[in-house]
Structures are given as C-alpha cells and as structure tokens.
C-alpha cells in the first residue's frame, strides 16, 4: 500500500456457521489451543447467532481475516510500472520470441529470462502446453443487501461486503464449460446457497465469470523449461492465488537470482517426464 499509494487490504472478521455437533465440539476444544486461539474471536451457540444467519449448530467468528482488493492491486501496480517505463501494453506474439543460447529477445528487447504468467492461456503456449493445467470456471454475484454486513460470511459460498450495503457472493466451480460468460446455472447455484446461508433480503446487481488456472495435482507450476534455460513459468496458482503468489514469487526470485532450491511440490521438474520435443 505504501509503495503503490493505494488502499488494498481490508481487515474484516469472518463468521463461519457450523454444520454439526461434531464441529461444535471440535472448535470448542481448539479455542483453548494456542495454535488456533490467535484466530478465533468467539464461538456462538445457535441461540447466539445473528438472527438472519441460518445455522442450527451455531458458528465460529474468526479474527485476523479480510480481503485484498485485487482489481486495485493490479491497476496500481500497472501505474507504478508505467511510470517507470517498465510496462509495455501490447499483445504478446510468442512466434516473435527468439531464444539465443542463454538469453531471449523480442522486438528489439533482450533479457536473460522470460517468465510466462499467462493463467489459463498456458495451454496455448508452445513451450509449456505439456504441463497438465486443469482450468476451473468460477462465477460471482454482486448483490445489494437490505442492511450492511459487518463481517464476511463463509459456508458453501462466501458473502464478502465490499462497500456500504453491497457484497460479492461466490464462487462456483465448473470444469466443463470453460468460457468467460456468466450463466443462469451459475446464478441459480449461488442464489440457492446464499438463501441457505442467510435470510437477509438482497437484489442481484451484477454477475461475473472467470477462469482459475488450477492444476491436476492442485500445486503451482514454477520453474525453468527442461530444454530452454531462458524460459520460465509461474502459473497454476488456482483458487488460492492471492495468498500463494507473494510467497512463491519471492521463492522464485531467490531461485533465479541466488540458486535457492524451489519447494519440491511446486517445481515443474515433477512433470518433466511429460515433456517431449
């Protein structure tokens, strides 16, 4: 936030309804565990829950939660790079990339490495399309609530208050119809889960769809091409990308600059057996 001059992190507690007596008992013991009580604000019985949250078995209020405004993060980062003349806004044509021993060149620019961060479009990258990407479509709703929500609701779907009486509800998981179009099926699923979670009156004001770059083994793809040393990939962060990206971006930079080994579970060397040229 300081570096980019933008508000990005919004702390909010999270209320998670419980679904069984077993869960009640489990969290009743964990609240006294030092490994967990840092994050547990309180545990509610069903009678103590907010009246418009549906829960037969009470709920768990978590602290140290919140959300990152990723739209603003991307915009502010782009502005920063633009101001440093470090951003080129144009379509990248991979056929114009030249691999020259231990470097690459593209339209007059030369570099030691090029790192591909293409999300679900990795499947169209001729150098890395052998990696087993498993894209997942997701849809969200923007809803106007009848009253402000002072916490995130999370069970089956999340209800994330973003400003005034408006909240984002999400998200669906679709493995077959991999397009960027919102659907009636997605809206129906989200509204059903929302009504199951809360009785707060609402109105849908917008719907969005996107594709998560998930992987076959649910681990990121990070590393250097098995044949072309200047080509790297940073992809496959899936549904946890917001939390995984900073950690593994740091690890990857340490690998590239200092030779520090990558975590075994994320390095693409685990799939070198699939590569052939």
Q: Mind listing the pLDDT tens digit for each residue in 85-104?
A: 999 999 999 999 999 999 99
262 phi and psi angles, rounded to 5 deg: -80, 155
C-alpha distances in angstroms, 88 versus 91, 92, 173, 219, 234?
A: 9, 10, 33, 30, 19
Count Cβ neighbours within 10 Å for each residue of 5-24 and write b for 16 or more, e otherwise.
eeeeeeebebbbbbeeeebb
From 30-44, 68-82, 83-97, 107-121, the region with the lowest mean pLDDT: 30-44
SS3 state at 15: strand
Residue that has been written with the tokens 């939390």 in this structure? 243
Cα(226)–Cα(274) distance, rounded to whole angstroms? 11
Higher-confidence residue: 139 or 28?
Answer: 139
Whole-prediction pTM: 0.90
- Tens digit of pLDDT for each residue in 11-67? 999 999 999 999 988 998 888 899 998 999 999 988 899 989 999 999 999 999 999
Give the per-residue pLDDT at 239: 87
Structural element, H or E, at residue 76: helix 70-83
What whole-number percentage of the chain has pLDDT above 90?
Answer: 90
First to last CA, the chain: 44
Residue 164: pLDDT above 90?
Answer: no
> Mean pLDDT over all residues of the chain?
95
How many angstroms separate the CA atoms of 206 and 31, rounded? 38
The three-class DSSP label of residue 188 is helix
Task: List the strands of the sheet with 157-163, edge to edge.
Answer: 40-44, 59-62, 14-17, 152-155, 157-163, 166-170, 136-145, 202-212
Query: Which residues have CB under 8 Å from 93's CB, separation 6+?
Result: none
């Amino acid at each position: 936030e300081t570096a980019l001059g933008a508000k990005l992190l919004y702390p909010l507690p999270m209320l998670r309804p419980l679904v069984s007596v077993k869960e009640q008992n489990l969290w009743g013991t964990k609240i006294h565990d030092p490994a967990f009580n840092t994050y547990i604000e309180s545990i509610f019985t069903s009678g103590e829950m907010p009246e418009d949250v549906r829960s037969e078995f009470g709920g768990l209020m978590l602290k140290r939660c919140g959300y990152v405004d990723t739209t603003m993060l991307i915009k502010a980062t782009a502005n920063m790079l633009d101001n440093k003349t470090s951003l080129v806004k144009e379509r990248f044509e991979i056929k114009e990339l030249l691999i020259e021993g231990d470097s690459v060149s593209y339209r007059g620019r030369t570099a030691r490495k090029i790192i591909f961060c293409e999300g679900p479009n990795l499947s169209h990258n001729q150098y890395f399309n052998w990696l087993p990407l498993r894209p997942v479509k997701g849809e969200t709703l923007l809803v106007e609530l009848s009253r402000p929500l002072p916490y995130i609701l999370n069970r089956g779907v999340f209800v994330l208050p973003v400003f005034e009486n408006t909240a984002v509800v999400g998200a669906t998981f679709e493995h077959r119809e991999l397009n960027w179009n919102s659907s009636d099926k997605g809206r129906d699923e989200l509204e059903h889960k929302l009504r199951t979670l809360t009785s707060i009156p609402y109105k849908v004001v917008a719907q969005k769809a996107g594709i998560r770059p998930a992987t076959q083994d649910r681990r990121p793809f990070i590393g250097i091409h098995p044949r072309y040393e200047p080509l790297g990939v940073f992809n496959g962060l899936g549904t946890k990308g917001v939390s995984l990206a900073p950690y593994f971006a740091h690890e990857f930079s340490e690998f590239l600059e200092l030779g520090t080994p990558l975590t075994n579970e994320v390095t693409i060397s685990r799939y070198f057996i699939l590569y052939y040229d």
